[in-house]
Amino acid sequence: MDEAKVEIMEFVKFLKNPAAYEKLGAKIPKGAILSGPPGTGKTLLAKATAGEAGVPFLSVSGSEFVEMFVGVGASRVRDLFASAKKHAPCIIFVDEIDAIGKARGKGGQFGGNDERESTLNQLLVEMDGFGSNEHVVVLAGTNRPDVLDDALMRPGRFDRHIAIDRPDIKGRGDIFKVHLRPIKTEEDIPKLAQKLAALTPGFSGADIHNVCNEAALIAARHNKETVVEADFEAAIERVIVGLEKKSKVLSPEEKKTVAYHEAGHAVAGWYLEHADPLLKVSIIPRGVGALGYAQYLPKDQYLYSTQQLMDRMCMTLGGRVSEHIFFGTITTGAQDDLQKVTKMAYAQVATYGMDNELGPLSYGNPEKENQFTKPYSEQTGQLIDNQVRSLIGQAFRKTTSLLTEKRADVEKVAKLLMEKEVLNRSDLERLLGKRPFQDKLHELLGTEVTAQDEQYAKGSTSAPTTDSPPTAPSSSTTPPPPTV
């Protein structure tokens, strides 16, 4: 979190030595909002700030202020700030501030008094009242910054808005090195961390900790002395798609249908240039409803072109098309695929403005997801539906022509799947030859290890640093988690 740490360290420096800033006429920022997806380390960063600054740290949760009794929330806010002023300089950390900080005037309060609103009003007064020279910093964590009240977010209350996103591949490698330390393993830690980082795109820090813990549990379940690489790979699979359902026995007809369905996904992705590289395909039932799955490895990518989105849609439709070609009938197994394709098509037409007929218009507004009126007319709604149907029809036809042409390859993959149940990338390379497009999977899974990394693995206290500049935060959507 290089950028987040730079911003937060300013608070630490000010709390340690306020005179250096005040002699130049600067004031300490009143507060900072730490926002980002769950599990990315917002609370952890606030704790680290308190420890680094060496000042008193008052931690409360947003839900602690909301009570049934009138006036209790506002009274607790007053007490909290009174206590903070006595111990100044100090840090107040309000976790899950969206419990009290939601925009006022919304939501169904039918009674005469809205306790949450009066609590928020008191918080606004305390953060920017008449007395504004106390050295009290308020840090707040939330994963829903879009619902917070504008008055709370303005400079003078929360001056800094620090976005903490999911880590990129380098960040995941560093996090794995931290969580692999207590794990008893004879693997080369730096190499293992880099390989696992490549296998877990879209994972947060909490997910990575969970993977390391699951790997140790799996090794203990099989009475192993140390945790090996295969245990980590099994743990990643478990986190993404759930536990193997060995008790669920498929009939031969169902097993054959699932095999051809997954073979359709695998072969479609193999021959489409912009599809993600395939990692593994399986017909072992897992989790709640998955009878089989094809696991891909998406890149840490923030922008997608129309061609890339079309290839992803075709790859997702590969299972349904394969059933249609080989059995002349279709099953309910493609429900999840169809939901994904429909979501992608609606996003292209109505949100990203990628449709020629509708033009460069965007109707996606994340702040008004639950509104009852649509921001467009009936005719426009009809046009959107027609264009989505046309787009999915185009992807379906493209996938049908591809799998009809590669029919023999689909049969080969399906037959081997029925025999082995799990195929990995090397099995598909033996069956179908090298993938005709260059992908960076081998580079990602076999990167070089620096001497600095090796020193870190042997027990040095600080994580390895590189001179490469941190990646610029993107305003667009976060990369998707591994595709299943």
**161 bridge partner residues:** 33
Cα 309–Cα 310–Cα 311 angle in degrees, nearest 5 = 90
Please provide residue 268's backbone torsions phi and psi, each rounded to the nearest 5 degrees: -60, -45
Sheet holding 31-35, edge to edge: 57-61, 90-95, 136-142, 31-35, 160-163
Task: Tell me how far apart the alpha carbons of residues 195 and 358 are, in angstroms, rounded to a whole number.
Answer: 44
Which residue in the list 262, 369, 378, 405 is annotated as catalytic?
Answer: 262
Residue type, 204: S
Find all residues with CB under 8 Å of 433, minimum gap 6, and list them. none
Residues composing the chain:
484
Sheet holding 278-282, edge to edge: 293-296, 278-282, 422-424
The H or E element spanning position 360 is none
Catalytic annotation present for 115: no
Q: Is the peptide bond before 277 cis (omega within 30 degrees of 0)?
A: no
The H or E element spanning position 35 is strand 31-35
Task: Tell me how far apart the alpha carbons of residues 138 and 135 are, in angstroms, rounded to a whole number.
Answer: 10
Q: Is 424 helix (H, G, I), strand (E, B) or coil?
A: strand
Q: Is 294 helix (H, G, I), strand (E, B) or coil?
A: strand
Q: How far out from the chain centre does Cα 372 lie?
A: 28
Q: Which residue has the tokens 């072109």?
A: 305
Q: How far out from the chain centre does Cα 158 lie?
A: 25
DSSP string, 117-178: HHHHHHHHHHHTSS---S-EEEEEEES-GGGB-HHHHSTTTS-EEEE-----HHHHHHHHHH
Q: Classify residue 113 by burial, with Cβ atoms within 10 Å: 0-12, 13-18, 19+.
A: exposed
Closest of 341, 334, 325, 333 to residue 403, by C-alpha: 325
Beta carbons within 10 angstroms of residue 449's beta carbon: 15
Residues taking part in catalysis: 262
